[in-house]
Structure 1
Amino acid sequence: MARKPGSTPQAIRNRAARTAAAMTPAGAAAAPAAPKKPFNPGQFAKEVRAEARKITWTTRKETWITSVMVAIMVVMASVFFLVVDFLLSQGVTQILKLANAG
């Protein structure tokens, strides 16, 4: 099986390096990486609370409507598969009857 052009590991690394270089801002390439800050549990808790405030919860009505829709779809899918299963079993039964009769 022939390999696609440019699918060698070296070609992939070269493309990744060019993409990374193109995505970095011009001044950021020369700047050294900032030192990693030590873990601060208090700051972490503040950030978690700030993110938790951004959560939008669904209302009771929206939750009820969604649950009813899921239940309806489950019933519809189960009826569909019941009918398909019945039709396939009847078809196989008829084919086997024809095979045994001949």
Structure 2
Amino acid sequence: MARKPGATPQAMRNRAAKTAAAMSSGSPLADSAPKKKTPPGQFMREVRAEARKITWTSRKETWITSVMVGIMVVLAAIFFFGVDFIIGWLMGLILQLANAG
């Protein structure tokens, strides 16, 4: 039976060494210099500016989404009940055959 390329023990050791080296070195983000502290007033202005960009869903959109989630939950429950019933029935049939023979 032919081996897959890179399945030799040496190739596996090389990959493990590369992975260990990559994990031990810090990420470029962690190696960068720390950011300067932002004054509290400027921070609050930036927070307010970002909060203004938020778009909220309407009451109608929220209601429609909630109804769709409810429908999907019911459909998933019916599906899993059916699958569980069929598997249980098959297992009972197999056990009856095993006990009868």
Q: Same fold (TM over 0.5)?
A: yes
The equivalent residue for 2:51 is 52
Aligned residues: 83
- Answering whether residue 79 of structure 2 is matched by residue 85 of structure 1, we say no
Structure with the higher fraction of residues in helix conformation: 2
| Cα distance, 1:46–1:81 mapped onto 2, change above 3 Å | same
Identity %: 60
Question: Which amino acid letter does the alignment assign opposite residue 83 of structure 2?
Answer: V
> Per the alignment, in what secondary structure is the counterpart of residue 18 of structure 2?
coil
TM-fit CA distance, 1:36: 5.3
Question: Which amino acid letter does the alignment assign opposite residue 7 of structure 1?
Answer: K
Distance 2:83 2:52 in 1: 48
Distance 2:66 2:35 in 1: 46
- Answering whether residue 18 of structure 2 is matched by residue 7 of structure 1, we say yes
TM-score of the two chains, using structure 2 as the length reference: 0.68
Unaligned runs of 5+ in 2: 1-8
Distance 1:91 1:101 in 2: 15
TM-fit CA distance, 1:41: 1.1
Question: Which amino acid letter does the alignment assign opposite residue 65 of structure 2?
Answer: T
Distance 2:35 2:94 in 1: 72
C-alpha RMSD of matched pairs (Å): 2.8
| Cα distance, 1:36–1:92 mapped onto 2, change above 3 Å | closer
TM-score of the two chains, using structure 1 as the length reference: 0.68
Distance 1:38 1:79 in 2: 55
